[in-house]
A and B are shown apart, each in its own frame.
Chain A
Amino acid sequence: MIRLESVSKHYEGAERPAVNEFSLEVAEGEVVVLIGPSGCGKSTTLRMINRLIEPDSGSLFLGDDDVRTLRVEELRRGIGYAIQGVGLFPHWSVRQNIGTVPRLLGWDKPRIEDRSRELLELVGLDPERYLEAYPDELSGGEAQRVGVARALAADPPVLLMDEPFGAVDPLTRDRLQREFLDIQRRLRKTVVFVTHDIDEAVRLGDRIAIMRDGGLVQYDIPERVLAYPADEFVAEFVGAERALKRLSLAGLRSVMRPQSGDCGIDPSVGVNANLREALSRILEVGEGALDVVAEDGCLVGRVSIEDILAHFQRPVA
């Protein structure tokens, strides 16, 4: 869906290129997270896709079209763009902000209004309450939600998100991420997402592209990035806790040994937990193994530290 071929960008006066011979393919309906330390070129790469920055060399394709063959405004109107909350227009209400691209595309008023309501509901904000609010009346989390709604307004197949959840507290960010996954499961957009937070990358990305000094170091699914870091740099970047991060990606359901039995068991762990949470609970209880219960509190299986270890040692496909 999105293809970058040997793209380079060297800013005037900079010592080395910001992006250097960078190639990447993003499949339709996937979330690809660009991540790396400051100055690695992730934001530059993102902005070259909607031509906010023009590459010095290389080609970028959106579907089958070279982005340079499209009129730049047309290109951008067809791509959702979400940045940190400050990108909302302060002199426009939420309704006007969300309607930005639809207005540029010449939609009529009722259609824009309906769409704005629909999107506010999608991002979990009550239209009656928020449609006429102004950005300075919104909390950080609300502003980010409106930013996402605005990016989705014209229903673009592709979304570019530049640290859209960067400026909020951890609790709000957690909720925003969960909602994002929820929305993405329904809409199946092709998303390129920039962050510097590895936990966010692991959680949201179908694939993670780790960048360093303008180049691609590793491009893989989160489990494999965590299990098989390409080099020292990646290993260090994903952090010492990478084993635990991997556990958080695996659900308990596929690892436990199914059983059936009584209800109202304690101590126990819920079947929807991930392996990291299950391990934590096992360590807490201190018995090496624990009963697994369904939402109704009835026994559905049992999991032990050995099971988790065995799962962990299986190669990641």
Chain B
Amino acid sequence: MSESLAPGALRPGAISTARPSGSRFSAHKIGVSALVLVAISLMLPFASVSHSRIATGQSLQVWDVLDLLGIAVLSAPWAVVLVGSIFRPRSRMSSAMRGGAAASSVVVWMLVSGAAAGPAVQRVGPYARYSLGAGVWLAGFAAFALIISARRELGLGTVPGWVVTLLAPVGIAIAAAMGSLDDLGILVEYHNLGQRFWPSVGQHITYSASSIIVATILGVGLGVVAYRFRRASAPIFSVVSAFQTVPGLALIGILVAPMAALSYAFPALRRIGVGGLGWAPVVLALTLYALLAIVRNTYAGLASVPPQTVEAGRGMGMTSSQVVRRVQMPLAAPVVFSGVRTASQQTVANATLGAFVAAGGLGPLVFFGLAQQANDLVVLGSIALVALALTVDGLMRGLQYLVTPKRIREHMR
């Protein structure tokens, strides 16, 4: 046979580096934008220092807090970004420079802030607090954008990609563990929480994970039923959509009374902790909330399998459940799993609402912080949430990759 087999023909991994030649000057757009943001951030307050955790702070500019050497240290990583954005900005080397420098800048700015915080606090008084200013957050945002773009340019699964991704979180974790950041308001709040912080994170993870697992099992099942039995699909979709129209907090509120009644009626349930308050209404509400994305994507995924492929399966003697398991589900898996991913993001965010029914999790940190106007506590809770959300997203991408049949994967990236 002369027709040729071309295994390399569709390898979508290779990124074309060719650019339409127009202007000779082609700096990296995100790099330049990030540099502009950092320049602005140096004009914004670098920190604020207050007499106590709830007092209004006094804004400090970067030159109030740091000497020239300190400012030079802050600028150093961004000088590298500048070089990487202008000099052959399309090369992998430049991507690595930008991403690495942006990630280091996060660590450097935190270390500089941590070092500056001690003397600044001592000047003001024993209960004084040092909070990071708007400038630091803006620079952090600029760095984040650069890390994301560099990570993509370097390739998600590659070693440089991982280094750029993990450099900032690991660096900050090490700095925090060594005590270099202890004078920052956020860390003071962390130490004040003492034994309560990590159990809160643990609870948050437990609620989110159990809701997602239950919702995935239920949602995939309902999606398959909705697809297989046309008559069932309208009722299933109207019910799961209905949950979405109720605001999360209201849904939890609605569940308080029936859950309380249940636990009153069945002491066995009460013994495992089911009640109007606590984990039960939260997990139930989160599960119901997560259903729509999963049911919808399962249905859409199954529907996206070409009818000829399904008919080939049936025509060769697969039973309907064999067709679903061997043909439709594997082909639908990427779509189904992106629904699970969406639902997971939602769930991690919504789990904060557990604060209102005494369920714990990271919610109380944020909401109590807001109530007390203790901004550093709010920030601590938020950072934990963001970190959790990003971790979950990464994990879900990994899982999505694993459940996708080898051959279908290559079309996804």
A residues near B, CB below 8 A? 47, 50, 52, 73-78, 81, 83-84, 86-93, 100-101, 104, 124-126, 129-130, 133-134, 136-139, 141-142, 145, 150, 160, 172
Give a binary string over B1-22; 1 marks a CB under 8 Å from any A CB, 0 the rest.
1011111011000000000000
Is A104's CB under 8 angstroms from B322's CB?
A: yes
Is B316's CB under 8 angstroms from A100's CB?
A: yes
Of B68-76, B226-234, B303-311, the segment with at least 4 beta carbons within 8 Å of chain A is B303-311
Closest partner residue, chain B, to A76 (CB atom): B317
Is A83's CB under 8 angstroms from B312's CB?
A: yes
Closest partner residue, chain B, to A139 (CB atom): B3
Q: Which residues of B contact A93 (CB under 8 A)?
A: 407
Q: Kindly state whether residue B314 has any CB partner on chain A within 8 Å.
A: yes
Closest partner residue, chain A, to B305 (CB atom): A90
Q: Which residues of B contact A86 (CB under 8 A)?
A: 306, 308-309
Name, among A75, A78, A90, the residue most crowded by chain B CB atoms within 10 Å (CB to CB): A90
Closest partner residue, chain B, to A85 (CB atom): B308
Is A124's CB under 8 angstroms from B1's CB?
A: yes
B375-399 interface with A by 8 A CB criterion = none
Is A89's CB under 8 angstroms from B327's CB?
A: yes
Contact A90-B309, Cβ < 8 Å, known A104-B318, A130-B5: yes
Task: Give the complex CA separation of A88 and B312 in angstroms.
Answer: 7
> Would you give the shortest CB distance from A265 to chain B, in whole angstroms?
32
Is B408's CB under 8 angstroms from A139's CB?
A: no
Instruction: Tell which of A73, A81, A91, A126 touches B312, judged by Cβ atoms closer than 8 Å.
Output: A81
Instruction: Tell which of B5, B7, B314 touches A52, judged by Cβ atoms closer than 8 Å.
Output: B314
Q: Kindly state whether residue B199 has any CB partner on chain A within 8 Å.
A: no
Q: Which residues of A contact B314 (CB under 8 A)?
A: 52, 76
Instruction: Sort A-B residue pairs by CB-CB distance and give the 8 closest, nearest first.
Output: A77-B317, A87-B312, A76-B317, A91-B405, A81-B315, A139-B3, A86-B308, A134-B407
Closest partner residue, chain B, to A105 (CB atom): B317
Contact A89-B1, Cβ < 8 Å, known A101-B317, A137-B9: no
Task: Give the complex CA separation of A175 and B337 in angstroms.
Answer: 43
Mind listing 22 A-B residue pairs with CB under 8 Å? Answer: A52-B314, A73-B317, A74-B317, A83-B311, A89-B312, A89-B313, A89-B327, A90-B309, A91-B330, A91-B407, A100-B313, A100-B318, A104-B317, A125-B1, A133-B5, A137-B5, A137-B9, A142-B1, A142-B3, A142-B5, A145-B1, A172-B3
Task: Give the complex CA separation of A88 and B407 in angstroms.
Answer: 13
Q: Which residues of B contact A129 (CB under 8 A)?
A: 5
Closest partner residue, chain B, to A175 (CB atom): B1
Is A81's CB under 8 angstroms from B316's CB?
A: yes
Is A87's CB under 8 angstroms from B1's CB?
A: no
Q: Which residues of A contact B3 (CB under 8 A)?
A: 139, 141-142, 172
Q: Which residues of B contact A130 (CB under 8 A)?
A: 5
Is B311's CB under 8 angstroms from A52's CB?
A: yes
Give a binary string over B82-121; 1 marks a CB under 8 Å from any A CB, 0 the rest.
0000000000000000000000000000000000000000
Q: Which residues of A contact B7 (CB under 8 A)?
A: 133, 137
> Would you give the shortest CB distance from B186 to chain A, in whole angstroms?
48
Q: Kindly state whether residue B285 has any CB partner on chain A within 8 Å.
A: no
Q: Kindly state whether residue B331 has any CB partner on chain A within 8 Å.
A: yes
B48-69 interface with A by 8 A CB criterion = none
Task: Give the complex CA separation of A141 and B322 in angstroms.
Answer: 28
Task: Give the complex CA separation of A234 and B22 in angstroms.
Answer: 63
> Would you give the shortest CB distance from A250 to chain B, in whole angstroms?
30
Contact A139-B315, Cβ < 8 Å, known A90-B309, A104-B322, A134-B407: no
Give a binary string over B400-413; 1 marks a CB under 8 Å from any A CB, 0 the rest.
00000111100000
Q: Kindly state whether residue B319 has any CB partner on chain A within 8 Å.
A: yes
Instruction: Tell which of B9, B317, B331 touches A91, judged by Cβ atoms closer than 8 Å.
Output: B331
Task: Give the complex CA separation of A129 and B316 in angstroms.
Answer: 25
> Would you give the shortest CB distance from B204 to chain A, in whole angstroms?
36
> Would you give the shortest CB distance from A174 to chain B, in whole angstroms?
14
Task: Give the complex CA separation of A88 and B408 in angstroms.
Answer: 14
Q: Which residues of A contact B10 (CB under 8 A)?
A: 136
Closest partner residue, chain A, to B333 (CB atom): A91
Q: Which residues of B contact A160 (CB under 8 A)?
A: 315
> Would you give the shortest CB distance from B400 to chain A, in whole angstroms?
15
Given A126-B1, A172-B3, 13 extra CB contacts under 8 A: A74-B317, A75-B317, A76-B316, A81-B315, A88-B309, A91-B330, A91-B406, A104-B316, A104-B318, A125-B1, A133-B7, A145-B1, A160-B315
Task: Give the complex CA separation of A126 and B3 in angstroms.
Answer: 12
Task: Give the complex CA separation of A126 and B1 in angstroms.
Answer: 8
Is A90's CB under 8 angstroms from B313's CB?
A: no
Task: Give the complex CA separation of A276 and B315 in angstroms.
Answer: 39
Is B407's CB under 8 angstroms from A77's CB?
A: no
Q: Which residues of B contact A52 (CB under 8 A)?
A: 311, 314-315
Is B407's CB under 8 angstroms from A73's CB?
A: no
Task: Give the complex CA separation of A87 and B315 in angstroms.
Answer: 10
Task: Give the complex CA separation of A215 and B376 in angstroms.
Answer: 82
Give a binary string over B223-258; 1 marks a CB under 8 Å from any A CB, 0 the rest.
000000000000000000000000000000000000
Q: Which residues of A contact B309 (CB under 8 A)?
A: 86-90
Q: Which residues of B contact A101 (CB under 8 A)?
A: 316-317
Closest partner residue, chain B, to A153 (CB atom): B316
Is A138's CB under 8 angstroms from B311's CB?
A: no
Q: Which residues of B contact A137 (CB under 8 A)?
A: 5-7, 9
Task: Give the complex CA separation of A104 and B3 in angstroms.
Answer: 31
Task: Give the complex CA separation of A53 and B199 in angstroms.
Answer: 59
